[in-house]
Amino acid sequence: MVDQKIVLALKFLLLVLFFESTFEQQQQERLSSPIERAALLELRSSLGLRSKDWPIKADPCSVWNGIKCENGSVSEINISGFRRTRLGSQNPQFRVDSLVNLTRLKSFNASGFYLPGSIPDWFGQRLVSLQVLDLSSCLISNAIPGSLGNLTSLTGLYLYDNNFTGMIPSNLGLLAGLSVLDLSANMFTGSIPVSFGSLQNLTRLDISMNFLSGSIPLGIGMLSKLQYLNLSTNGLSSSIPPQLGDLSNLADFDLSFNNLSGSLPAELRGLRKLQRMLIGNNLLGGSIPVNLFPVPSQLQTVVLKHNGFNGPVPSVLWSIPQLRLLDISGNNFTGMLPNSSLNANASAAELNVSQNLLYGGLTPTLGRFLVIDLSGNYFEGPIPDYVRDNASLVSNCLQNLSNQRSLLDCTSFYTAKGLTFDNFGLPNSTQPPAGGSTGKNNKKVIILASAFGALGLILLLVILLVLLLFCIRKRGTTTQRGVAVGVGPATPVPSGSSPPPPGVSIDLSSLGDAFTYQQLLLATGDFRDVNLINHGHSGDLYKGILESGIPVVIKKVDLQSHSKEAYLLELDVFSKVSHSRDVQASSILLDDKFEVRLGSLSEVCIQEGDIHQSRISRLLRLPQSLEQGSSGSLTNSCAYDVYCFGKVLLELVTGKLGISASSDAQLKEFLEQILPYISIYDKELVIKIVDPSLMIDEDLLEEVWAMAIVARSCLNPKPSRRPLMRYILKALENPLKVVREEHSGSARLRTTSSRSWNASVFGSWRHSSSDVTVIPATSSARPEGGSSFKQSGASNSMGSGGQNGSGGQNGSGGHSSSRRRHSGEIFPEPFDEQDVERQN
């Protein structure tokens, strides 16, 4: 009994002490300055913050979310992830003037909170106590004020994923205490400031995904504490400075997607702590220095793809124990695979050596890789079991495998290297021996070759003459009968009509079999109206069934009302392309398996002024109101395809039929109503616009959400900001990755190989968020964070408040983005929109 009383007494004493401690702590954390309290209330009002986060009657230091105080003064403000009130979200602005009265403020974090507008110049003049400034993903625009160079106490500056323009201020080089500088995913132009070489405490520098040009400053190599360097996805040129080899603490090195040239400097072997090296998609060349990669090495990711490297692959690359990704595709590397079984146990490593000049047999070295791409080389011999099920092997010289190179191609390659090709493992090889022969034999071979060559030349000339006479006779017959090309005889041409235009040479072999007019009549039931699909610009489309039971679509062209030139041009187009680049729902014909079989030619535009005036340069029209700034180049043609495809996707999501064929005014009105409900941050919003006839569960809703996000990115008013179609295809093949990986957290992003899937596929889309803003400012349904789909990988691992600039995180999976270069993969032809004329 006595023991129980003692225990109760002790519990009561501990409870009293706990409450006293809590009370004293609250007393210490209470805001003592009425000026600062008034400043916080003004900030609450100007930003439209909800009372849920900042209750007006409570003490800010002890109750308000995101507020920290020291000695009775506000030291930290974190509004990241906050949502505005309904009234505040109607007109969000960069209105934080009251911060000037918080004289002891050390950290201000508004990442992900919309602050449209410019950073005021007084930021760098009044907030002198700031140590961390995080304004990432805030939709801030215009230039960075040079006054930020006065914030000499700053250790972390996060301005990524905004719409900053102009040049990067050289005054930022005055921030000597800066540890982290992230300016990625913006629209900066000009060169990298030379003053950055003075940031001796910098551990992390990310200025990727901008429009920077010029060379890499040599002073970057003096930043001895630098652990993360990302200059990717810009327009940097010249060579890689050898001074970068002095960055002995560097762990992550990304120079990919630039215009860097020259060879890799051997001095880069000084990067002994390097874990990720990404220098793909540049103009680099030459051989790789033998001792470039140190032994032992900590490398986990090496990407050298799409350059001009040649010579052998350094042997050390095959034996790095921690290697998870090796991508040297799209170069001119040559040589054989090392015949070593070291570390041959299969792991999660990935190997891509496609599109090179590698040859020889497949060796046990490949056994350590789980995913392998060897396509586009000259490998020969049998296929080992450890490669057969997990490798892409097309376009090689391998045995017992389809889709390989021709015998002539393989034999020529190996003979040029003084080697003997194995003839795909078949006997009776017809190729000559690799070794030499006597001079007498060589002389006989030369004489025989000359004789047979002369005989072959004479025979060839005779054949050409016969073919020429045959073509002349056939052309005369064709002129009398009319233009009967490919799919059946056309309507007879009057005798006074002109012959087909010169320069139009059409290969009709790719159009399929030829049919008689009687066969077409039988297939369509004499072209009855019941089989009419649509009235086209140059003729009517009919459905039909051939005698073999195959369903077909037949286009009936009236040459009385349409010129033969237009008809021939259309046939020429169909012989070269699989569809024709007018994307709207009414132009897409599907078979019973929902496979696209035929599109319609709405317009065929010829390029006037060209020496070959029948050359087709464009197949699409460009509405002026929604395609501002279009030059008519092939780049913009492809971008317009993407724009039209986005309309079709949106039509599928919403069930609003006719969107893809609506007028510009109707489309603009529709987008103003729909786009506020498509947000990467809020899945539930999309329910308000989804086709009500769709029966969707949670997983299917995510797919619809992802499709809506893809559609929104396609509808960017700026053609250069729309994603490439191959990225759209990759997204639609696995739509859940669009939304799930974006929210998978920094831990996962840090473990991805070269860069996160989402960043590689959607990096070029991230700059499109603010451009897809046709939403009026009065829209109250627009969610906070709802229109910014571009977000650099750093946003998942850095800059989320309370980060004091340690910057030593090695997680960088998503820090790179896909290419935003306007001409890297598309080669435009000149085009004048005034020369557009309807041909179909």
Catalogue the active-site residues.
582
Q: How far is CA 225 from CA 134, 183, 269, 744, in A?
A: 22, 19, 17, 30
Q: How far apart are CA 706 and CA 734, in angstroms?
A: 9
User: Which pair of tokens denotes residue 457?
Assistant: 């030349």
User: Which pair of tokens denotes residue 136?
Assistant: 């990432």
User: Which pair of tokens denotes residue 755?
Assistant: 């860069």
| CB-CB contact of 90 with 61 (8 Å) | no
Q: Which residues of 399-424 are buried (b: 16+ CB within 10 A; e: fewer)?
A: eeeeebbebeebbebbeeeeebbbbb
Q: What's 631-674 look like in SS3?
A: CCCHHHHHHHHHHHHHHHHHHHHHCCCCHHHCCHHHHHHHHHHH
Q: How far is CA 415 from CA 325, 411, 436, 653, 753, in A?
A: 33, 6, 12, 57, 38
| CB-CB contact of 533 with 539 (8 Å) | no
Q: How far apart are CA 219 and CA 239, in angstroms?
A: 14
Q: How far apart are CA 263 and CA 197, in angstroms?
A: 23
From 277, 290, 279, select the one nearest 250 (Cα to Cα): 277
User: Which pair of tokens denotes residue 111?
Assistant: 């990442």
Q: How far apart are CA 765 and CA 639, in angstroms?
A: 13
Q: How far is CA 618 from CA 105, 581, 586, 724, 725, in A?
A: 58, 9, 20, 18, 17
Q: How far apart are CA 225 and CA 505, in angstroms?
A: 64
Q: Which residues of 160-169 are buried (b: 16+ CB within 10 A; e: fewer)?
A: bbbbbeeebb
Q: How far is CA 660 from CA 342, 588, 677, 711, 769, in A?
A: 57, 11, 19, 12, 21
DSSP 167: B
| CB-CB contact of 818 with 767 (8 Å) | no
Residue 347, φ and ψ in degrees, nearest 5:
-135, -165
Give me the residue label for tokens 């139009």. Answer: 504
Amino acid making up residue 819: R
- 774 burial level (CB within 10 Å; 0-12, 13-18, 19+): middle
From 442, 439, 423, select the one nearest 431 (Cα to Cα): 423
User: Which pair of tokens denotes residue 414?
Assistant: 């190996």
Q: Which residues of 206-229 are buried (b: 16+ CB within 10 A; e: fewer)?
A: bbbbbbbeeebbebbbbbebbbbb
Amino acid making up residue 830: P
